[in-house]
Structure 1
Amino acid sequence: MTSGEERSPCAGADPYALALRNGHERVYLRLADGRRIRMPVDRWYAHPTVADESVLTRCVGPVLDVGCGPGRLCRALLSRGAFALGVDVAPRAVAHTIALGGIALRRSVFDRLPAEGGWQTVLLIDGNIGIGGDPRALLYRCIQVTAPTGVLLIEVDPDDVEERCTAQFEDTHGHEGPPFPWARLGAPALHRIAEDLALSVTDQWRYGHRCFLALGCPDSASGRRC
């Protein structure tokens, strides 16, 4: 989970940085209208859940994990013999991933990335479809880095929502980090955006309260770029 901004929200005593330090601090996403959403920090640091496994089994290497956080998914893929690279703007997230045997870069997905156009699977899990606050621009960027035969595996909000907003990370004491653009997207909205970008929904599934979609190019078999 990451804000995806060039300016990391993990500076000084920012609540997100503190949560990433040990994986036990509670942190919330505070939206501009006052709503507060608890972030699943414990899940980011745990072994992949059964819902995560439903994503991992659909991954074909090489895999790019966008907003990798502490790296549970890219580390799991590496342990199974699939090359996976995590990217995140938060230095603590990248350091944690590397310390536990993963491969990660401190970088925004909108920066130049290794092997652009060659990733067979690109992950946007744990709400990372919200990175940058513009899902359409994010998906377009992900198309650029994905191989013509590749797939985007995306976790969306379980509710039917399409929202662009400004958010801040907040701890249990109300201490806030810097604001950043964010977005929340449900499956119907992702279907609409995918159609606009000439992407097809090749799979859609739920596990518990979590909802996932797989997007690919309709002409992927011919190697054509979307």
Structure 2
Amino acid sequence: MSATESTRERGAGSWRADPYTDALRTGHGPLFLRRRDGWMLPLEVERWCAGADTSDMSVLRRCEGSVLDLGCGPGRMVAALSALGCPTLGVDVSPAAVSRSVHAGGPAVCGSVFDPVPGEGDWGTALLLDGNIGIGGDVRALLRRVGELVAPEGLLLAEAAPVDVDERVHVRVDDGCGGSGPDEFPWARAGVAALLSYGQDAGWALVERWTAPGRAFVALRRAP
């Protein structure tokens, strides 16, 4: 196993740890990503475990063809897409998240975006929402990988941080009450400007950008 693969495996293990599993089981937090310096990023467990809201629907309306939701969590987006009759699949490293997604009616498989993915190279649209632009701690590498998953000229609908930020950090899953995941793993945050810069480097072109309350999104098209 390479050093990069080892780091990704540690990250996957943290998402399977008790604080995250417990939060998904109950449907609420508190839950955070805690940096080494003690700063904590709140995770919106209640929103993730609810149905797709108005902001989510602004994403779903822009989907084209079959849709791959990367880091699908408890599956609100794949469930909504399935209800609309759209071919879709969620991918998540957490067995608890995949189980909840399937129970909600959203087809999902357990695995990493960096693992082989069903239908690789044929998906019409990929989703990276709810902070998942941070997966692996390297936005450029993640966007290159997503480019391998979608069809030629496929679409990526990604959520950026709602503030102007570009950081790569190491974090743990933390419940804010003394419970934390066993492993530290790399994570990233990217605002719109940083995401677009990384996207251009990785072969994506901007199609559209829009906002919803407290959230920022971009649509990127894979160059042929």
| TM bucket normalised to smaller | over 0.9
C-alpha contact (below 8 Å) 1:10/1:91 kept by paired residues:
no
Q: Which residue pairs with 1:221 in the alignment?
A: none
In 1, Cα distance between the equivalents of 2:105 and 2:198? 36
C-alpha contact (below 8 Å) 1:5/1:89 kept by paired residues:
no
Q: Which residue pairs with 2:205 in the alignment?
A: 200
Where in structure 2 are the equivalents of 1:183-222 lying within 5 Å? 183-218=188-223
In 2, Cα distance between the equivalents of 1:214 and 1:51? 14
Measured against aligned partners, the alpha-carbon deviations of 1:79-106 in whole angstroms (never above 9, x if no partner) come to 0010110000000000011112211000
In 2, Cα distance between the equivalents of 1:206 and 1:76? 20
- 2:107 maps to amino acid: I
Identify the match of residue 8 of structure 2 among 5, 18, 30.
5
- 1:149 maps to amino acid: E
SS of the residue 2:148 aligns to: helix
Aligned-pair identity in percent equals 47
- 1 or 2, which has the higher helix percentage? 2
Q: TM-score, normalised by structure 1?
A: 0.91
Measured against aligned partners, the alpha-carbon deviations of 1:132-158 in whole angstroms (never above 9, x if no partner) come to 111111000000011112100000001
Identify the match of residue 36 of structure 2 among 25, 32, 36.
32
In 2, Cα distance between the equivalents of 1:217 and 1:93? 28
Identify the match of residue 83 of structure 1 among 77, 87, 105.
87
Question: Aligned in 2, Cα 1:179/1:120: closer, same or farther, shift over 3 Å?
Answer: same
C-alpha contact (below 8 Å) 1:69/1:93 kept by paired residues:
yes
- 2:59 maps to amino acid: V
| 4+ aligned runs moved over 2 Å, structure 1 | 4-8
Where in structure 2 are the equivalents of 1:95-110 lying within 5 Å? 95-110=99-114
SS of the residue 2:210 aligns to: strand
In 1, Cα distance between the equivalents of 2:76 and 2:16? 22
Measured against aligned partners, the alpha-carbon deviations of 1:151-196 in whole angstroms (never above 9, x if no partner) come to 0000000111100000111113121112111000000111111221
In 1, Cα distance between the equivalents of 2:173 and 2:202? 31
Gaps of 5+ in 2: 1-6
- 2:63 maps to amino acid: C
Q: Which residue pairs with 1:172 in the alignment?
A: 176
Question: Would you say how many aligned residue pairs link Structure 1 and Structure 2?
Answer: 215
| Cα displacement (A) at 1:10 | 4.0
Question: Aligned in 2, Cα 1:148/1:99: closer, same or farther, shift over 3 Å?
Answer: same
Q: Does 1:145 align with 2:149?
A: yes
What CA RMSD, in Å, does the superposition of the two structures yield over aligned residues? 1.4
